[in-house]
Chain A
Amino acid sequence: MLRAEELTVTLGAFTLGPIDVDLRSGAITCVIGPNAAGKTTLLGLLAGVRRPDGGRVLLDGQALSTVPRPLRARRCAHVGHMSGGGLMSVESLVALGRLRLGRDQGRVDDSIEAMGLRDERRRLVSSLSAGQQHRAHLARAMAQVDPTGLLVLDEPTADLDPDHALGVWRLLRRFVNGGGTVLVSMHDLPAAGAVADDVWLLQEGRLIEAGEASTLLDPARLESLYGIAFARTTPGDLPLPAWMLEGNASH
């Protein structure tokens, strides 16, 4: 559903790309890599919220820059790490996801419910915890995107406790099972191993490898990517949430 061709952008001394990659439909794909590898920039380019200097992104076979804004909003929802909306209520924020798509109170209510924010729906976003704020923005994206659309999420569980993180992954897995596609960036490698179908390895603005998570998340590749040693864990070594050690527990 999404394809990048010769995608490049330069931000000061940093250059991302050129990147050629196909995003697999109906899968959760994790972009991993060290800080300043270009994960947030890449996600912004693929979601159409940032303009590339060169190359193009194809959404459903059409150049993303030519896709009308309402259709783009419907097919691809993006949640960045620094989102505003602090002065509005949770319900108003989530309803804004439908700005160009027509009011749909049912979708808004369902998204708020799915993110566990029913009791907070009238509260100002700025009065919520960081994790609750992030869930409010995820609810906005869920209210916005088509069931067969694409969710692009920058570190969606970075501020969440393990319980709510599992809730989000289960929701994303349900979204994928319903025909949707998910592209996320994250630093939590055990969680990536537990939830990702595909993985993209990004380093210093270059896409090193893209493929199945079970193949690419091995200690040697990660050592090369991050420059530190990695070892496989066995149950009991680390106090990880049980679902992470059970493979794709979010299925």
Chain B
Amino acid sequence: MSRPRALGLICLAILAVGVVALRLFIDRDPITGEVSLQWAGPQWLDLRLGAAFAGAALGAALAISGALLQAALQNPLASPSLLGVASGAGLGVMVVLWGAHACAMTAATGLLMTGAFVGALLALLIVLRLGTRGGWPDPVTTILAGVIVSTMAMAGIVLLQGLVPEGLRGRFLAWAMGTVPDLPSRGLLIALGALTVLLLLACICWSGWLDALGLGDVAATNIGAHPGAVRTACLVGAGLLTACCVALGGPMAFVGLVAPHVARLLVGPMHRFLVPGAALAGLILVVGADSLRQMIDLGTGRLPVGVLTTLIGGPVFLILLRREVHRAQG
């Protein structure tokens, strides 16, 4: 490993440990609303550990998903929201809320998660089906299919919002901004963690196949890679990770888009370093934003993490974009 790449990964790893440690120290008292900055007692430690692990898993998973999509679609603007998975999950949640309202029931959190996961998977399957040309996913067709499925799902969400009372709309909006749950579903968290680690290891082991996609399909085929199969694996892996993430914490904007770009700046474009770097950058962004929101009180409870990741990620992305423009102009 070259020295700058190693240094970049080490810096990211130290920062990641730092923000996770900060999250274990910081919290807001649910009764008094005061911020506490001290090691949690046994009664709160489980909550903080759960939130820290959930934030770490969400950030790393969304970032890996973004890195895989950017490699598969050869598009620097690709992100988990591009596949229509988040919108599909939103429609799933809205269908559950509407169904529960129609049956005069209250939708349990577990049911909402199930709705989100099923909606996300359905959107993924439709996009993969529509994006296929010649037996394999085509980057441009897949992006177009993702945009169309996402727009249709958004239209469905707006339609259903008109059919439920205002209170349920508020519950949907809170979900739609994305959050790190204090009490994450243990099963879903384990599934997301296992899938994230598995895909991270796979990306490191088969990083050359991801790099090969950067050569274009003709050259990639000539060096012995199978671009169609690699692209399919990337899309399915990224889609499953995103589906688990939106089911656990709702959609979280910018993490999957920005984290791979930050990692690219620090550890270079080769996927053996880029994917772990992106996972660490995503972890830092989400856990950092979750720690930050504990300190912000607008009088209406804690901000959703998605608001902070967007407020932080948006400017970071614009700065990166400006740098790229300046570099391209020489």
Q: Which residues of A contact B (CB under 8 A)?
A: 44, 47-50, 69-70, 72-73, 76-80, 82-88, 92-93, 96-97, 99-101, 137, 140, 144
**Would you call A78 and B270 a contact (CB within 8 A)?**
no
The docked-state distance in angstroms from the alpha carbon of A83 to that of B220 is 10
A49 with B270: CB separation less than 8 A: no
Q: Which of A73, A80, A87, A88 contacts B223 (CB 8 A)?
A: A73
| Chain B residues close to A by CB (< 8 Å) | 74, 208-209, 211-212, 214-216, 218-219, 221-226, 269-270
Are A49's CB and B222's CB within 8 A?
yes
Q: Provide the residues of chain B in CB contact with A140, threshold 8 Å.
A: 219, 223
User: Of all chain A residues, which has the CB nearest B330?
Assistant: A127
Determine which of B215, B219, B221 lies in contact with A48 in the assembled complex, contact meaning CB atoms within 8 Å.
Answer: B221
The answer for the CA separation of A72 and B224 in the assembled complex, in Å, is 7
Question: Measured between alpha carbons, how far is A86 from B219 in the docked complex, in Å?
Answer: 13
Name, among A70, A82, A86, A100, the residue most crowded by chain B CB atoms within 10 Å (CB to CB): A100
Q: Tell me the bound Cα distance from A99 to B211 in angstroms.
A: 10
CB <8 Å contact, B211 and A100:
no
Would you call B211 and A88 a contact (CB within 8 A)?
Answer: yes
Known: A92-B270, A99-B208, A99-B209. A47 touches B216 (CB 8 A): no
* Number of residue pairs A-B, CB distance < 8 angstroms: 71
A77 to B222, CA, bound (A): 6
For the complex, what is the distance from the CA of A70 to the CA of B225, rounded to whole Å? Answer: 8
Q: Are B218 and A44 in contact (CB under 8 A)?
A: yes
Instruction: Say yes or no: A99-B214 contact (C-beta < 8 A), given A87-B269, A88-B269, A88-B270.
Output: no
Residue pair A97, B223 in contact (C-beta under 8 Å): yes
Is A101's CB under 8 angstroms from B224's CB? yes
Looking at the assembled complex, report how far the CB atom of B275 sits from the nearest CB atom of chain A, in whole angstroms: 14
- Which 5 pairs of residues, A with B, have the shortest CB-CB distance? A100-B224, A73-B224, A84-B216, A87-B269, A69-B224
